[in-house]
Amino acid sequence: MNLIIDVGNTKVKMAIFSRKRLLKKTSIPYNDIQDTLDALLIQYPGLRKAILASVGKSFSPAYQKLKGRVKLVKLDLETALPFKNKYKTPRTLGVDRIALIAAAAIKYPKVNTLVIDAGTCITYDFINRENEYLGGAISPGIRLRYKSLNNLTANLPLLETRTPRHYIGASTNASIHSGVINGVINEMEGVIDQYRSDWSDLTVILTGGDAKLLSKRLKNSIFANPNFLLEGLNYILEFNT
């Protein structure tokens, strides 16, 4: 069995895989890493391999806990990948984006694939049918947009995420909801259309924390998969062990 640890911007995600099958996943605060690891190691004594990936925060508590107990892979520039990386600044490429493209490379071989991750940031990552990762785009996620409107203006309130009832906001709050949510939807639709103008056979994957909220509102045909990043990390672990 494999243990997957994804240290994100706001949460730590852990998952247990048996080969390609997801058995368990959990999302925890950073401070709960050691207690959660203790519980998982007791619950799953058959764990033999693990992968650690972090977008920036230190994962030393997890590393020290697992060191010597399992075959451990730390996702970094030296990690072997199941695709050809043509990104011009690979040292600045986030491990989350690497994992998403790894999942696309394994699950959709010889297919032009755009992966959209709707999380703290919205990332767009493209891999072509030749198994070449070309890059993509990064823009603010839904919560970042709400927070920016509040932080960078004098009078706009900080609101909880809410799907707008109409695209015309009849109040300030309704206008914010319309601007944020419809802005993200229109951005995604525009990006997908832009890619499809060059790759008509494009496959689009939507994942991330806001995927469920957004998937029902997108007009373009997509495949929603909330576990795509975890699956990608599991593929990378298998690829390296």
State both tokens at 138. Answer: 């990064």
Q: Which residues contact 24 (CB under 8 A, 6 or more apart)?
A: 15, 16, 40, 44
Among left, alpha and beta (phi > 0; psi -120 to 50; other), residue 94 is: beta
96 is catalytic: yes
Structure letter (DSSP) for residue 178: I
Kindly name the residue from 6, 35, 76, 96 that is annotated as catalytic.
96
HEC readout, 47-87: CCEEEEEECCCCCHHHHHHHCCCCEEEECCCCCCCCCEECC
Pick the closest to residue 180 from 225, 118, 90, 93 (CA basis): 118
Active site (catalytic) residues = 96
